[in-house]
């Protein structure tokens, strides 16, 4: 099992067919958010715990529009079915959840139904949040009731027919929703169960790292097997395959470094996962970070055999063009032999993320660049500049092909059509 550094471009904890955190090279949505503000009333342990759990659940990322007030909603979530606009969850009586009780809030988390009984669209990850305990739900509710109320009316969704008919959600829930709090596995220890609870519940990691059907749902049997994040052009790699992002051969501290700092000697987070790390994972306490690492490392491995070198599949002219572009644009940071200078500049040789079946993330990084998140443990991260304005489609395809097959890598060639298709990045 090799130890090549992986670039987790597109890991994420946000939304099945609903997430819209598309990051351009010069666009980092978290920079436009207002500083965190909490009510001036005296704090207590329940509210403090609720704030922590809300961060674990990454509530702010969906419920705060770029440049908007925290938790006031109105962020557009592009989906294959149209735009969903997230609601205001500040304690405003008229436009937020100020009139909700703790029972109402738990019902929403546990059953996916609003206070009035209306079934929620699965943009709200209630298929995961149903696992949250009543005590944790009450703590999050207490925290949300403590933030400043914002009077900002919600915006109706813009979903195409027939997806604007909520009655169709009954069928979706039959296929993809299983209600019930997390039940500990008696065969596992307390730490493993804590990690499973956080990953499967508040963390809702499977929502990005699992392929979704045409209806925007996924089954538990497919969890963490990897898939495209709809409407984003990022691939969330499999967490069970060591050919992609499987963690079975990682040390626990390497996983916790990635979760809390956003960068380690084994990986760096880019794309949607960078936002998740910025808003959520960097705030994990050491015990919870370790518990999540223990659980993630235990996921059953699949397809562990490394793909053989694929350079023979590439035309010599394409390899030469790719080599020339790499030498001119990439070698300064990643080295002539692709060994990089980790953790600042990850190696490209012997790198699972470069060799994945899907070339999407590698091409996106070349076109749009990428920035690791600034975190408390890594406040001044390194980034990669964009090359979309410098390289044409043929050059992008050639250099992407080169890094995927050079130095014994087992990736497959990238076509100019694939490079061109990824130039157009979805916008919020």
Burial of 12 (0-12, 13-18, 19+ CB in 10 A): buried
- Paired tokens of 136: 């944790």
Confidence of residue 356 (pLDDT cuts 50, 70, 90): confident
Compute the distance between CA of residue 340 and CA of residue 224 in angstroms, rounded to an integer.
28
The chain-wide mean pLDDT, for the chain, equals: 84
Give the DSSP letter string of 363-384.
HHHHHH-EEPPP-SS-SS--EE
**CATH fold of 311-421:** Cytochrome Bc1 Complex; Chain D, domain 2 (1.10.760)
Q: What is the pLDDT of residue 239?
A: 85
Q: How far apart are the first and last CA of the chain?
A: 40
Confidence of residue 218 (pLDDT cuts 50, 70, 90): low
Compute the distance between CA of residue 89 and CA of residue 68 in angstroms, rounded to an integer.
13
Strand partners, 83: 78, 158
Give the pLDDT confidence of 366-399 residue by residue, as tens digits: 999 988 899 999 898 888 999 999 999 999 999 9
The whole model's pTM is what?
0.82
User: For the chain, which residues make up each domain, given as ranges?
Assistant: 311-421
Q: Is the distance from CB of 169 to CB of 100 less than 8 angstroms?
A: no
Rounded to the nearest 10°, the torsion over CA 346, 348, 349, 355 is 130
Confidence check: pLDDT of 253 > 90? yes
Give the pLDDT confidence of 34-65 residue by residue, as tens digits: 334 434 444 579 999 999 999 999 999 999 99
Strand partners, 77: 84
Confidence check: pLDDT of 23 > 60? no
408: left (phi > 0), else alpha (psi -120 to 50), else beta?
Answer: left
Percent of the chain with pLDDT over 90: 56
How many distinct helices (H) and strands (E) make up the chain? 16, 9
* Highest mean pLDDT: which range of 172-176, 196-200, 222-226: 196-200
Say which residues have a Cβ less than 8 Å from residue 211's Cβ, sequence separation at least 6. Answer: 218, 222, 225, 226, 227, 228
Say which residues have a Cβ less than 8 Å from residue 81's Cβ, sequence separation at least 6. Answer: 17, 159, 160, 163, 216
Give the pLDDT confidence of 278-335 residue by residue, as tens digits: 999 999 999 999 999 999 999 987 666 667 777 778 999 999 999 999 999 999 999 9
Burial of 385 (0-12, 13-18, 19+ CB in 10 A): middle
Confidence of residue 343 (pLDDT cuts 50, 70, 90): confident
């Amino acid at each position: 099992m090799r130890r090549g550094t992986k670039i987790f471009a597109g890991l994420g904890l946000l939304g099945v067919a609903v997430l819209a955190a598309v990051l351009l090279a010069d666009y980092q949505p978290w920079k436009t958010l207002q500083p965190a503000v909490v009510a001036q009333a005296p704090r207590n342990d329940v509210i403090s715990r609720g704030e922590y759990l809300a961060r674990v659940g990454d509530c702010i990322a969906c419920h705060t529009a770029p440049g908007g007030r925290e938790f006031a909603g109105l962020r557009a979530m592009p989906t294959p079915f149209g735009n969903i606009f997230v609601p205001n969850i500040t304690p405003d009586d008229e436009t937020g959840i100020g009139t909700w009780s703790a029972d109402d809030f738990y019902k929403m988390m546990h059953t996916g139904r609003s206070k009035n009984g209306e079934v929620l669209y699965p943009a709200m990850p209630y298929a995961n949040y149903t696992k949250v305990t009543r005590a944790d739900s009450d703590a999050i509710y207490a925290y949300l009731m403590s933030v400043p109320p914002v009077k900002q009316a919600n915006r109706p969704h813009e979903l195409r027919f027939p997806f604007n008919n909520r009655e169709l959600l009954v069928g979706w829930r039959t296929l993809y929703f299983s209600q019930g709090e997390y039940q500990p596995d008696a065969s596992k220890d307390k730490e493993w169960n804590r990690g499973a609870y956080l990953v499967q519940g508040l963390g809702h990691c499977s929502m990005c790292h699992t392929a979704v059907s045409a209806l925007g749902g996924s089954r538990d049997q497919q969890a963490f097997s990897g898939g495209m994040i709809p409407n984003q052009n990022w691939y969330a790699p499999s967490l069970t395959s060591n050919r992609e992002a499987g963690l079975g051969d990682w040390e626990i501290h390497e996983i916790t470094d990635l979760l809390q700092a956003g960068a380690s000697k084994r990986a760096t987070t880019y794309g949607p996962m960078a936002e998740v790390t910025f808003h959520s994972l960097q705030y994990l306490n050491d015990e919870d970070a370790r518990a999540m690492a223990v659980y993630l490392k235990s996921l059953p491995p699949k397809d562990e055999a490394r793909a053989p070198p694929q350079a023979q599949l590439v035309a010599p002219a394409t390899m030469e063009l790719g080599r020339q572009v790499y030498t001119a644009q990439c070698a300064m940071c990643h080295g002539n032999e692709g060994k990089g200078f980790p953790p600042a500049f990850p190696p490209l040789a012997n790198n699972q993320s470069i060799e994945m079946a899907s070339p999407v993330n590698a091409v996106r990084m070349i076109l749009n660049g990428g920035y690791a998140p600034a975190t408390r443990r890594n406040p001044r991260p390194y980034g990669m500049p964009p090359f979309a304005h410098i390289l044409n489609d043929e050059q992008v395809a050639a250099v992407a092909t080169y890094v995927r097959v050079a130095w014994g890598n087992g990736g497959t060639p990238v076509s100019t059509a694939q490079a061109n298709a990824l130039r157009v990045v979805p916008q919020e």
